[in-house]
Amino acid sequence: MALVPSASLVVAAPREALAGACNYAVLMARRVGGGTFAGAYVFPGGVVDAEDGPPADAPARCAVRETYEETGLLLTTPPASGAVPPRGGPFGALCARHGIAPLRPRPLARWITPRAQKRRFDTRFLLLAIRDDDRFLLGQLGSARAQPAELTQLRWLAPDEALGANARGELPLLPPQAYILHQLSRCRRWQDLPAALPPLADAERPVEPLLCRRSDGAAVALLPGDRAYGTADPDDASLFCADRAAPRLHRLELAPAAGGGFHAATLLRTAPCARPQL
């Protein structure tokens, strides 16, 4: 089955008085039950369509368009009036009508849905870091609302705060989101985000996790560079890791959540190891 092109946007914005150590938050959206990625917290995004233009531009435009459709955040140049125009009609037509252009987020990562899944996506993750002097974008943050057909909740969380909630069983995640949050949590200041991003070549390199189940019920997402990655059927012993500093580990240990997604996402990454990294 062909991979479905899709895109997802990590929106980062300066925030004060957060519970976490980072001085910025990222927008997390909880998917409705019964649909794709049911019950898990993800970054806004969706499937690339014809409106998103040529392949070179489509992921960035799709990510911005889907974020607008799912949350109401209009991540564009400001209109002449300086006010967010009323919602309605296709995103492209809205931009043309008000003389605004979608912002171009920075490529962050590319993940492929594991082969065991019935519907598989080729997803580009992109990052848009909002500056503390961008009044047009900052003025919209408090008015973001979940589109009820696809989402049940929106939350602004510092990366380390989101991982803490995941560890407590309060914020189910999927492997790509858990990995990206782990990487972002190493960057404590939003001012440093652009310099902390991986090279463009690494952001385009596909990561296809191998999702395995251990005998204790835990799940393990093996990633490129892990010593057990590429094994046709990893044995149970190779999925347990008593020595957390052992070489060639690149995996996420996960506890399946009842409503969808995973809790307690722990990243093990030791040298030598394949990218991606932040």
Residue 238 backbone dihedrals phi, psi, to 5 degrees:
-75, -15
Residue 201: the pLDDT is 85
Neighbours of 143 (CB within 10 A): 10
Q: How many helices (H) and strands (E) does the chain have?
A: 8, 12
- Average pLDDT in the chain: 92
Which of the residue ranges 12-21, 159-168, 230-239 has the most confident prediction, judged by mean pLDDT?
A: 159-168
Nearest to 146 by CA among 233, 242, 30: 30
Residue 156 backbone dihedrals phi, psi, to 5 degrees:
-95, 120
Residue 36: the pLDDT is 62
Residue 214 has pLDDT above 90, yes or no: yes
Higher pLDDT, 82 or 265: 265
Neighbours of 232 (CB within 10 A): 5
pLDDT bracket for residue 265 (50, 70, 90): very high
Residue 273: the pLDDT is 64
Which of the residue ranges 17-21, 81-85, 264-268 has the most confident prediction, judged by mean pLDDT?
A: 264-268
pTM given for the model: 0.94
Residue 210: the pLDDT is 95
pLDDT bracket for residue 35 (50, 70, 90): low
Contacts of 96 (CB under 8 A, 6+ apart): none
pLDDT bracket for residue 259 (50, 70, 90): confident
E strand or H helix that includes residue 167: helix 159-167
For residues 57 and 180, give the distance between their C-alpha atoms in angstroms, rounded to a whole number. 22
Q: What interhelical angle do 159-167 and 175-184 show, nearest 10?
A: 130
pLDDT bracket for residue 21 (50, 70, 90): confident
Nearest to 42 by CA among 14, 19, 8, 69: 8
Decide if 9 contacts 44 (C-beta within 8 A).
yes
> Rg of the chain over CA atoms, in angstroms?
19
pLDDT bracket for residue 205 (50, 70, 90): very high
Which of the residue ranges 173-177, 187-191, 237-241 has the most confident prediction, judged by mean pLDDT?
A: 173-177
Q: What percent of the chain has pLDDT over 70?
A: 96
Residue 34: the pLDDT is 72
Contacts of 183 (CB under 8 A, 6+ apart): 276, 277, 278
The mean-pLDDT minimum among 134-138, 206-210, 258-262 falls in: 258-262
